[in-house]
Chain A
Amino acid sequence: DGGITQSPKYLFRKEGQNVTLSCEQNLNHDAMYWYRQDPGQGLRLIYYSQIVNDFQKGDIAEGYSVSREKKESFPLTVTSAQKNPTAFYLCASSKTQGRTGELFFGEGSRLTVL
């Protein structure tokens, strides 16, 4: 079955540590995204990538970094510069163009900073 796989599902980190969240998709989608969700709030865009080896900052990119070396993979690194990293992180993918406005989401990674 095609889909998006995020790992780990739960992650605990000490302050000052960088962590990397994995996102892999086998939907053959060109575009991939990282969103952050805080309790009771909507999704805010961190980074997105339309094609391999290219990515753009979203609305809240500070303290985060990404890479897009392969079409299937779009890992997110939460750096120690991110002041409030405890959140639910969602990876998504989509066809680049089209009229559907449809994103396919992974099951998310919940990061807690101790």
Chain B
Amino acid sequence: GQSLEQPSEVTAVEGAIVQINCTYQTSGFYGLSWYQQHDGGAPTFLSYNGLDGLEETGRFSSFLSRSDSYGYLLLQELQMKDSASYFCAVRETGFQKLVFGTGTRLLVSP
């Protein structure tokens, strides 16, 4: 079966660094994506890891360890606007069909 686990909620203050973990068990694995969703809005793509290691995009970085079936999203220099839900998603096949985790709600306080 498919299983992606994320913490349900994380809190942090402005300027801090936060890490959101994702562990997965899926029938196939081509890569791990991360999406951000503000309340009531559309999910937007943040990053993708097809290979082990760290991918950096500005303040956001994402890491993947295929051997551990584990990844994380690292958010640095947190801003209030980063308060949102963050979803990891596994790409199980060569096609782009994704399986999403249940999401982590990040609350950034002043």
Residues of A bordering B, CB below 8 Å: 31, 33, 35, 40-45, 48, 50, 58, 90, 94-108
Residues of B bordering A, CB below 8 Å: 4, 30-33, 35, 40-45, 48, 50, 87, 89, 91, 94-103
- What's the nearest-Cβ distance from chain A to residue B33, in Å? 4
The 8 closest A-B pairs by CB, nearest first: A101-B33, A101-B48, A105-B42, A42-B100, A94-B96, A43-B100, A42-B102, A102-B45
Report how far A27 CA is from B66 CA in the complex, Å.
Answer: 32
Q: Which of A48, A50, A99 is the most central at the interface, judged by chain B CB atoms within 10 Å of its CB?
A: A99
Count A-B pairs with CB separation below 8 Å.
70
Report how far A103 CA is from B99 CA in the complex, Å.
Answer: 12
Contacts A101-B91, A103-B45; A31 near B101 (Cβ below 8 A)? no
- What's the nearest-Cβ distance from chain A to residue B84, in Å? 14
